[in-house]
Amino acid sequence: MKSKPASSVATKTTVSALWEKTKRNLPSDLEFQNERSRDNATWLALTQVLTDKDSVSFGWGYAGKSKGFLGVHNTPDDQTTFDNSANLYSLAWRHMIDKNTTVYADWAMTVNGPDAHYDLGAGGHGVTTDCHDSTPLAAFDPTTGGVTNTGPHCFSGGRVEGVSVGVAYRF
């Protein structure tokens, strides 16, 4: 992973950029499902200080196509023409009430390629949505010795949006 440190210019604008290449080692017979290895993932963010207490930020993340993919319930079987790239856009406003307390409002949107299933909230701030449908979780049934249910199903190609509003207090 290579990154460029954030920099601030005289206009009170901070620019942050990140580029990464990820690699996952799998046995050759499983390489077709290697959705963790990709050559191109980027992040670009701009933060503008508006006043002594207010700032606004815009971010854009891009995950390029991976080496392989896990077919989900609506992806093609063709392993050569899939597109599981995605873009993430975010916008945030922050207001400092005092040195310990900040209020914020932010919005994010993930635009998945036709075979991608990236999600919002997967890092713990919210509930993930792309793998939640009405199908119950698959589980081992000790009374029958088999597996019951088949879910939840993941669906690719979606556009997921979310809003978060809160107060952060540092003590």
- pLDDT recorded at residue 127: 54
Domain annotation covers residue 85: yes
Residue 122 pLDDT exceeds 70 = no
Task: List the structure tokens of 97.
Answer: 């009430």
Identify whether 58 is part of a domain.
Answer: yes
Residue 147 falls inside a structural domain: no
Residues in the chain: 171
- For residue 68, count other CB atoms closer than 10 A to its CB: 19
Question: In the structure, what pLDDT confidence band is assigned to residue 159 with cuts at 50, 70 and 90?
Answer: confident
Contact 138, 151 (CB under 8 A): yes
- For residue 73, the 8-state DSSP code is T
| Structural domain range at position 84 | 2-128+161-169
What's the whole-number average pLDDT of the chain?
Answer: 80
Residue 155 lies in a domain: no
- Count of domains observed in the chain: 1
Residue 133 lies in a domain: no
Taking the C-alpha atoms of residue 40 and residue 63, their distance in angstroms, rounded to an integer, is 7
Residue type, 35: E
Kindly state the average pLDDT of the residues 44-52: 96
pLDDT band at 83; cut points 50, 70, 90:
confident
**What pTM did the predictor assign?**
0.74
Instruction: Look at residue 154 and tell me if it is in a domain.
Output: no
Nearest Cα to Cα of residue 97 among 57, 54, 50: 54
- Residue 59 in any domain: the answer is yes
- Using CA atoms, how far residue 44 sits from 17, 36, 38, 57, in Å, is 5, 21, 18, 11
